[in-house]
A and B are shown apart, each in its own frame.
Chain A
Amino acid sequence: MIEQNLSLLLVVIPLLAAPVTAMLPAGRLPWLLTLIVSWTCLVIAGWQLSVVIDGSVISYELGGWAPPWGIEYRIDAMNAFVALILSGIAAITLPYALRTVEKDIPRHQTSLFYAVFLLCLVGLLGIAQTGDVFNLFVFLEISSLSSYVLIAMGEQRRALTSAFQYLIMGTIGATFLLIGIGLVYAETGTLNMVDLNLRLQPILDHRTVHTGFAFIVVGIALKLALFPLHLWLPNAYKYAPSVVSVFLAATATKVAVYIMLRMVFGVFSNDFVRITPTDQMFLLLGIFGVILASVTAIYQTDVKRLLAYSSVAQVSYMVLGMGLASVLGITATLVHVFNHALIKGALFMACGALVYRVGSSQFENLNGLGRQMPWTFSAIFIAGLSLIGIPGTAGFISKWYFMLAALEQQSWLIALVILLGSLLAVVYMWKIVEVMFLRPASDNVASVKEAPVSLLIPMWVLVIANIYFGFYTELTVNVADSAARLLGVAAYHE
């Protein structure tokens, strides 16, 4: 019985905790409550995954209304996997948050900050849990609105413009999604994902369905920062408070990838992808995204922006995986969702540690800092290796599956792009190493100390996870594989 309720608890606990946090006195108390809530969520998410990992499905009817009329929370391996990533990242980010938030956020706003943080988590977890497309839109808006607020809390005034830009773009994207959902609803009269999938199959050639699909895909593509709709992302990540950069970089685009997979393959189906130019579009934009975003990253002079462009490139890999539209491709995408969360989480945490000590992430202020902050630097180095895809790191497992998926279909071009992307990643990660390690230290760095332990521990947990999941792939690969199969994607045939 309790297992039935797990899916709801995962959303309800943080949702109820959010207003409580907002009412707590400023200081460390709100942080503590958020910490407890996020760790509880992690436990529940782990439990939930252990229930559905064998391929079973948890279905929860909200308010006792049976689907397809009521809202259904439908948990299969993919939902549980994404929920685990989200709550895991939240749980690991919060110990990191304590010190950085004290520095970044005025004290009287801390309770509000954590309340909004929890709301953002609610939104993201809700997206992962729900089996209802309109409910998904609602949760998407919850997470988006709260992330606008979180970004706007950044120290510099440009955080406001960045948040505003993101708000405009995010709202347009969400509106597109809503228009799409509306059109599909008009055709089928249902909002439940499973039901939609059934009812859509006979009418896949209807013009309205196609138009609705286009709106949905483009709307999600914006959230996903699909090239060239990524323009909001670099500034949003750069000007956000450090902990928000960490959390959003590791989760926000990944959830959008999940929505894309769920809508395109789960709701519309693989057959639909084949009769529309979706896969070609994914491949085309993915190729451009990997190369151009990586090249752009090379020309950045700010670590945060560099990492942001690298995120766009990495998301483009996932889009390539979707474009291949095979079990292996989707598996690679899901594996990379997990691994990239680990990589970017660690990198943005290290970057936040630099900002914490130096007050800037501009290259010119970081000269020779590697010797002053050896632990932070080593974390960047190892996570960078993982980003590049060196064997023995989690990143390699992703790249390996992307390569397998590409070679399976004899797409030499895609294979080449994947390799080229890795080489470009070497170059841009190298720039950070060069600045921090090979350049002579400038004056402002001489007295800088290593980051506090409360920042280093979460960072290194992620770094070690990067290595751990480079060797032990049962969790990532098996879950991703069974999730891809449950999604109804067929294996590739000639």
Chain B
Amino acid sequence: MWMIDLPPFVPFFIAALLALITRGRVRNLIVLATPVLGGLYLWLDVTPGIVTTIPVLEYELILMRADRLSLLFGYLFHIAAFIIAIFALHVRDTTQSVSSLLYAGSALGAVFAGDLITLFIFWELLAISSVFLIWARRTERAIRSGMRYLIIQVSSGMLLLAGAMVQYYQTGSLEFDFIGLEGISGWLIFLAFGIKCAFPLLHNWLTDAYPEATPTGAVFLSAFTTKVAVYALARGFPGTELLIYIGAVMTCFPIFYAVIENDLRRVLAYSLINQLGFMVCGIGIGTALALNGTVAHAFSHVLYKALLFMSMGAVLYRAGTIKSSDLGGLYKSMPKTALLCIIGACSISAFPLFSGFVSKSMILAAMIQEGYDYLWLVLLFASAGVFHHAGIKIPYFAFFANDSGIRTREAPVNMLIAMSIAAILCVFIGTQPQYLYALLPWEVEYWPYETTHVLSQFQLLFFAALAFVWLNKLGIYPREMPAVNLDADWLYRKLLPDTTRSVYGFLKQTGHRIEDTFDSTLKDAAKSMISTRLGRFNLAASWPTGSMAFWLAVILGLFLLADAMN
């Protein structure tokens, strides 16, 4: 169709360039056509086994390595980019249009990257392009939060680069295939992936930054960054047992924070981590069924999570707030959005006939097969928890609950179309899973709709719903309060600045004290030297000429001394 073996990120980057110079309808056309054409090209022309390389320095960078795993993620990202592009069609902001195209392109570049350097390049591009979706909100909070996000993401890239270089030195290869946790390079890369995959304690950038993004930006963010990380983990660390435990923790701990959180988009961010936990577990198990489950879950997850973020984006866009304490009763003015949101909620809660059910159950089945019974129970608890915070809490507090009196209009048409497409896909995958299963990278016989399985899932959901109703009636369920909850980011948002401040204050005081001591005791020539050169040691000041000459003499003297002692 087009040039043979064009890496899939190229159309997106070209489109980003075009979006920079066009406006209005032309730009909308470009934004919509790119994922469609790119997706068609990927679907029709690219078959597993195609490899495109370019030589840089003495290395061959593998820009495109197509196999079933990377292709599935490629399709997914094209679909997501298309749906979200429709959702964002009303936005007249060059920054957002350009950066979202760059962002989607970088995600594609990363999943098709065949070597660690190419991966690193797109890894960093993901960070740089996505941060503008947060800054585009142009509030002080968003700028600060975006900065924290950028620093953490760039550090992740640095770890990846360091790991890649160590690996290059140890094995002479930069190829991105199974890495494993052997040696320092494996751990560095693991940590880099872990940051992007929001491992516990490394997850704060996600819950911090996503809710601060623009209504449309958050949808983009939810679709790409973490899924690239899941892909990278599935490629580099399948069957690493540690991941099962990490995943289990990831499924559980966000539930508690999600329940007490007031900002509904932050609730979604926590539930995103929870869902990632299932995928990480699947990668950790590492059997064909588990990996298939992971990939399938990533696929359906992107769609229903985007659907939920879109519905919350629509609420934010229309109602102007996303605090559950201020919302409620919106179903009267936004009935369609409410219905679509409920479909998303059903999918994330894994109701039979919705997409979450057919993918999550693969991971759970694989877990039982491999004999992790207790962890299976943990994941079951987490599934109930998902239903609580994402399945019920989100639609309930936004659209029902106590009527807040907010009267507004239904979401714009483009948003409704985008949400409908996502909702249709959720139901389609849920009812016709064989099409998704056929695309999965490994050959596995699996069918989710067995009587016992469906029944047990309904029981689980029913009792979870009962618990919510009961707790809510008794008033035990945490009330929605307008507050900012910090979890582990307390470490660097509170502890670190406070400690720095107190340490700095302490140093300053001691510094003054030392200076005072010097002043009072050394009243001879030594004093004048110390007060000009060392006592007021300030790097940024303009220094007197004498001080410069002084350092010159010091260096010369020290060098000669060291030389003589050699």
Contacts and interface: CB of A to CB of B under 8 A. Distances in A.
B559 A222 contact: no
Contacts of B161: 403, 419
B565 to A, nearest CB: 8
Given A165-B545, A165-B548, A423-B158, A277 B562 contact: yes
B155 interface: yes
A214, A234, A300, A407, most chain B CB atoms within 10 A: A214
A373 interface: no
B547 interface: yes
Interface string B137-161: 0000001000100010011001001
A404 B165 contact: yes
Contacts of B543: 231
A407 B169 contact: yes
Given A210-B563, A292-B539, A407-B169, A391 B117 contact: yes
Contact of A232 (B124, B143, B548): B548
A273 B532 CA distance: 35
Nearest to B59: A400
B566 A276 contact: yes
Given A408-B169, A419-B158, A423-B155, A296 B540 contact: yes
Interface string B531-566: 000000001101101011101100110011011001
Nearest to A228: B551
A281 B559 contact: yes
A417 interface: no
A234 B539 CA distance: 11
Given A168-B549, A296-B540, A397-B57, A281 B562 contact: yes
Contacts of B545: 164-165, 168-169
Contacts of B542: 234-235
B316 interface: no
Contact of B124 (A173, A391, A400, A419): A391
Interface in B156-188: 158, 161-162, 165-166, 169
B121 interface: yes
A153 interface: no
A426 B158 CA distance: 12
Nearest to B184: A412
B165 A172 contact: no
Category for how many chain A residues contact B: 35 or more
A318 B87 CA distance: 50
Nearest to B549: A172
B514 to A, nearest CB: 20
A423 B135 contact: no
Interface residues of B, number: 36
A94 B87 CA distance: 50
B56 A471 contact: yes
Interface in A270-313: 275-277, 280-281, 285, 292, 295-296, 299-300, 309
Interface in A223-265: 228-229, 231-232, 234-235
A221 B559 CA distance: 12
Contacts of B154: 423, 426
B120 interface: yes
Contacts of B556: 176, 214-215, 218
A214 to B, nearest CB: 5
A276 B549 contact: no
B143 A438 contact: yes
A277, A309, A408, most chain B CB atoms within 10 A: A277
A165 B542 CA distance: 11
Nearest to B56: A471
Given A391-B117, A392-B121, A218 B552 contact: yes
A422 interface: yes
B116 to A, nearest CB: 12
Contacts of A173: 552
Contact of A222 (B539, B552, B566): B552
Contacts, number: 97
Interface in A160-216: 164-165, 168-169, 172-173, 176, 210-211, 214-215
A234 B540 CA distance: 9
A299 B539 CA distance: 10
Contacts of A422: 158
A473 interface: yes
Contacts of B155: 423
A401 to B, nearest CB: 9
Contacts of A138: none
Contact of A211 (B128, B143, B560): B560
Contact of B548 (A229, A299, A390, A438): A229
A228, A295, A404, most chain B CB atoms within 10 A: A228
Contacts of B562: 277, 280-281
A358 interface: no
Contacts of A400: 57
Interface in A387-402: 390-392, 397, 400
A486 interface: no
Contact of B559 (A168, A218, A299, A390): A218
Interface string A55-82: 0000000000000000000000000000
A169 B549 contact: yes
Nearest to B562: A277
Contact of B135 (A276, A300, A438, A473): A438
A276 B552 contact: no
A37 B560 CA distance: 44
B165 to A, nearest CB: 6
A38 B147 CA distance: 44
Contacts of A235: 542
A43 interface: no
B237 to A, nearest CB: 23
B558 to A, nearest CB: 8
Contacts of B135: 438
A415 B158 CA distance: 11
A467 interface: no
Contacts of B128: 390
Contacts of B560: 210-211, 214
A217 interface: yes
Contacts of A280: 562
A274 B559 CA distance: 14
A477 interface: yes
Contacts of A397: 57
Contact of B566 (A165, A231, A277): A277
Interface in B497-553: 539-540, 542-543, 545, 547-549, 551-552
A407 B549 CA distance: 36
Contacts of A296: 539-540
A165 B169 CA distance: 46
A220 B556 CA distance: 12
B143 A231 contact: no
A471 B155 CA distance: 24
B58 to A, nearest CB: 9
Interface string A453-494: 000000000000000000101000100000000000000000
A315 B117 CA distance: 26
Interface string B110-127: 000000010011001000
B291 to A, nearest CB: 30
24 contacts: A164-B545, A168-B545, A172-B549, A176-B552, A210-B560, A211-B560, A214-B560, A214-B563, A215-B556, A229-B551, A235-B542, A275-B566, A277-B566, A295-B539, A299-B539, A309-B540, A391-B117, A391-B121, A404-B165, A407-B166, A423-B158, A426-B151, A434-B143, A438-B143
Given A214-B559, A471-B56, 11 more contacts: A169-B548, A222-B552, A229-B548, A281-B559, A285-B555, A292-B539, A295-B539, A300-B540, A391-B121, A392-B121, A423-B154
Can you list the 3 inter-chain pairs with the closest CB atoms, starting with the nearest?
A277-B562, A391-B121, A231-B543
